[in-house]
Chain A
Amino acid sequence: MSVIRFNKAINMALSEEMKRDANVFIAGEDVAEAGGSFGVTKGLLNEFGESRVVDTPISEGAIIGLAVGSSLTGLKPVVEIMFMDFMAVCFDQIINQAAKMRYMSGGKMSLPLVIRTQAGAGFNAGPQHSQSLEALLMHIPGIKVVMPSNPYDAKGLLKTAIRDENPVIFIENKMLYGLKGEVPDEEYVVPFGKANIVRKGTDVTIVALGQMVNKAKSVTKQLEQQGISAELIDPRTITPLDKDTIVNSVAKTGRLVIVHEAVKTGGVGAEIAALVQEEVFDYLDAPIQRVAAPFTPVPYSKPLENYFLPDEQKIIEAVKKVCIGRQFPQLVGRD
């Protein structure tokens, strides 16, 4: 085991997969010489040369087009869209081309491509550099959507993404790049569609996405001290989504709180809440709660951005709200 940062874990996954498969290449804005705007692709140009680490013009649409065309014809591109917000610029190639071509060809075309992108607030980067747009992607059949929350998962999931025969969008929360974590020295992969039960518990299920898993994790410790045993689930991938793990957990605990950074309206939390009520409504002891951002663009100024971001206090409040009642009389009247 080594303890490495999240960005290093991604860098290692890229390097290992490029060594393993000569068809894998990287392309994007500033990925070669500059090593990426967050240093994620640092050193890869020296290791693999400019034919496999390609600096492109600032042309997000053509970057995805490059990935679509090259993956159709035998290469395995891992392209970078520097900020997830910029995906808005290239949605035709993602939604109408990458996501549709296998289907439109009756299954004859394969598009083994990965789009790495960086999302999330917390850096005071303002409304066009801080968004979490995963719900838009989850709505599109034909692509897979990955949201790692720690270095171990980041490395293992990216390796799986690169080996996958489908278009995969790999969302890296920018607040996670500095996060340290244990990563095995030997080769491993993390499968898609298998949620991680971060912590086992019996009273309430918390499903958290990406960076929010870390906030929820610290909350579970505080809750424990107050007599609430929370089960924390990190889906890791939202497409495919591990429905069984979530549903089984809720059937056990009877309570569900969903935490994500994206705005609440039309978010992934709404989808998870809906599927839980479809499957295990009669196991629920309290209405499902969602902790998410308000329906505003991500603001710039620190106090505004802090207000925008879901925090530990909001998660605790939501958990208490669903737990107040017969089994937790001690919570009545508090806060």
Chain B
Amino acid sequence: MKFSKEELLKFYETMLKIRKFEEKVSDLFSDGHIPGFLHLYIGQEAVATGVCSNLKKDDYIASTHRGHGHCIAKGADVNKMMAELFGKETGYCKGKGGSMHVADIDIGILGANGIVGAGIPIAVGAGLTAKVKGQGQVAVAFFGEGASGIGYFHEALNMAAVLKLPVIFVCESNNYAEFTPREKHLPIQTVAERGSAYGIKSYMLDGNDVLAVYETFDEVVSRTRKGEGPFLVECFTDRWSGHFVGDPQRYRPLGEKEELQNKDPIIKLKVFLQQEYENANDEINKIHQTVDNELAYAEEFSKSSPLPHGESTLEDVYAQGKQYECNSI
């Protein structure tokens, strides 16, 4: 597949934005600006970017607890994302969701999810809507290989296959289920094998190569739009950081982290760009500047945004009014 320079630079920008967002929020977390848990997406940027670059605004994604990358790649506003992580009123969820629940229904993000595997059947539901409405949308479920041990994964694959829904199951095989290495929780070599048990055509690819991801999804998404789904795609990638920020990663073999740097999806694309285009560095530098500015603004926006008032705790529980629309407890 031949990519234009613009396309390649756009991939670069999206991946860089994810990387820099994660680095920044990690620093802000360490400095005490962000409470709770942070599960970073660093190392996996090529997957979200390659997948979501094939999606339209009205396509759906159901994300994971490691969801920042998916949301950015699908077009989420980094100001609102970061403010949400700060627990501010201006955040996507008015400070009620936090890192694990960033959602933007207006651009098809059905939410990051704090429960491993829970987004998978939700994507199946969105796929049903897409099929019923018949407007050619697709629904993508992101999950890690650890989530393929969850019952919902199997139920969702079976259901989507039986009902022939336009759903793409995207497994980000990043080698660790929380703290447990792949070989200790997966009795088979690949999650892709599981697709065949449900009659679902499955693909495997190098998830650190954004061009490979894009190329496969170009085919898979268009076939899904035509009603040939569901599909399962296993993207082999690497989780650079721990399960969460602060995880000491004692389970990781010595030297592994250093090796991962050699598989950096962003460097890989950068080298490709430099080989293809003489003046690539100028444009790459420009992108770095743009992304840095954008994230500096997001930080400023988040820091200067107001915290929510305590009473707003009672809002948004139900569609009408506060806790209940009538007298109650």
Contacts and interface: CB of A to CB of B under 8 A. Distances in A.
Given A62-B152, A68-B125, A243 B159 contact: no
Interface stretch (B32-40, B110-118, B221-229, B284-292): B110-118
B316 A66 contact: no
Contacts of A194: 326
A62 B94 contact: no
* Residue among B114, B121, B125 with most chain A CB within 10 A: B125
Contact of B101 (A64, A70, A104, A243): A104
Interface string B309-329: 000000111111001111111
B162 interface: yes
B177 interface: no
B159 A59 contact: yes
Contacts of A74: 129, 133
Contact of B320 (A71, A75, A109, A165): A165
Interface in B114-157: 114-115, 118, 120-130, 132-133, 139, 151-152, 155-156
B319 A25 contact: no
Interface string B54-69: 0000001010000000
A59 B327 contact: no
B96 interface: yes
A108 B152 contact: no
Given A57-B158, A92-B118, A193-B326, A69 B317 contact: no
A16 interface: no
A97 B316 contact: no
B126 A61 contact: no
A101 B317 contact: no
B93 interface: yes
Nearest to B156: A62
A246 B266 CA distance: 64
Contacts of B124: 62, 65-66, 69
A109 B106 CA distance: 9
B319 A164 contact: yes
Contact of A66 (B62, B94, B114, B121): B121
A53 to B, nearest CB: 12
A111 to B, nearest CB: 9
A92 B120 CA distance: 12
Contacts of B132: 25, 51, 70, 75
Nearest to A75: B129
A326 to B, nearest CB: 32
B105 interface: yes
Contacts, number: 178
B91 interface: yes
Contacts of B105: 72, 105, 108-109
A70 B323 contact: no
A314 B318 CA distance: 37
A21 interface: no
Given A93-B118, A242-B326, A69 B319 contact: no
A84 B159 CA distance: 21
B97 interface: yes
B58 to A, nearest CB: 9
A107 interface: yes
A56 interface: yes
Interface of B: 60, 62, 91-97, 101, 103-106, 110-111, 113-115, 118, 120-130, 132-133, 139, 151-152, 155-156, 158-159, 162-163, 315-320, 323-329
22 contacts: A54-B163, A59-B155, A61-B121, A62-B152, A65-B120, A66-B124, A69-B124, A72-B125, A73-B60, A74-B129, A74-B133, A96-B115, A102-B318, A104-B97, A106-B97, A108-B104, A108-B105, A165-B320, A192-B326, A239-B328, A240-B328, A241-B328
Chain A to chain B: the 7 pairs with minimum beta-carbon distance, closest first: A69-B125, A65-B121, A165-B319, A107-B316, A193-B326, A106-B94, A62-B155
